[in-house]
């Protein structure tokens, strides 16, 4: 049982570490590579939960994470980056140092919030939920500190990975829910990709701040 806890904690903690790596990246290609690692660790974490909980449905969830989240979705985003010719640094609202400091604070907050409210849960569930909340908060932080639309999509997907980790740590979740989540993300990426192509065609930029300035000029 101790080995199961140690491996579960190692994988869930690794997901938090890669979330910090995502926050640190300043180039889109490196950001997408880091997200692949994020999804692979999620798949491994869910797979280990399937073994620990003796829950066969979680094996499918782990496979979906490895195939769709670590394979199909990053490939789709890479194609968007190539098609739009946006191989450049990611614009940030604040510096990397301040972002990492804020991420550390949010991780500490997840510990302070989650451990007391899950005191009656099993050890493996408590720590997984704590790590999962940290991943969710770091994903939100990434979405709010990046100006590039593609990086905001990656932040949203890393946030969703945290939700999956939370659901599997709390004795799994129905497979149909995971499938619906994955399909929703795929549909969202298709819609966003189409939208981004139109943005690029009309304004020749992916900078969200520049688009806000353009909107302000219209209202002015």
Q: What percent of the chain has pLDDT over 70?
A: 71
pTM reported for the whole predicted model: 0.79
Q: What percent of the chain has pLDDT over 90?
A: 23
Total number of domains constituting the chain: 1
pLDDT above 90: residue 203: no
> In whole angstroms, how far apart are CA 116 and each of 10, 73, 106, 128, 172?
21, 36, 16, 14, 21
Residue pLDDT, tens place only, 41-61: 999 998 888 888 888 888 888
Domain that holds residue 87: 2-219
- Which tokens hold the place of 209? 């701040």
Instruction: Pick the closest to residue 16 from 33, 50, 41 (CA basis).
Output: 41
Tell me, what's the pLDDT at 188? 64
> Rounded CA gap, 10 and 187, in Å?
32
């Amino acid at each position: 049982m101790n080995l199961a806890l140690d491996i579960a904690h190692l994988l869930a903690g690794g997901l938090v570490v890669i979330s910090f790596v995502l926050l640190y990246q300043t180039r889109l290609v490196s950001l997408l590579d880091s997200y692949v690692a994020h999804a692979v660790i999620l798949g491994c974490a869910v797979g280990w939960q399937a073994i620990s909980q003796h829950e066969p449905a979680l094996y499918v969830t782990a496979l979906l994470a490895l195939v769709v989240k670590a394979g199909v979705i990053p490939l789709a985003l890479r194609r968007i980056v190539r098609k739009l010719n946006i191989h450049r640094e990611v614009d940030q609202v604040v510096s990397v140092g301040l972002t990492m400091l804020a991420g550390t604070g949010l991780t500490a907050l997840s510990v302070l919030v989650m451990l007391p409210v899950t005191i009656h849960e099993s050890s493996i569930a408590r720590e997984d939920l704590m790590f999962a909340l940290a991943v969710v908060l770091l994903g939100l932080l990434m979405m709010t500190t990046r100006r590039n639309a593609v990086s905001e999509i990656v932040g949203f997907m890393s946030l969703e990975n945290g939700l999956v980790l939370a659901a599997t740590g709390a004795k799994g979740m129905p497979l149909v829910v995971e499938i619906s989540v994955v399909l929703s993300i795929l549909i969202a990426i298709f819609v966003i990709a189409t939208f981004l192509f139109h943005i690029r065609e009309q304004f020749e930029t992916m900078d969200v701040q520049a688009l806000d300035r353009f909107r302000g000029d219209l209202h002015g």
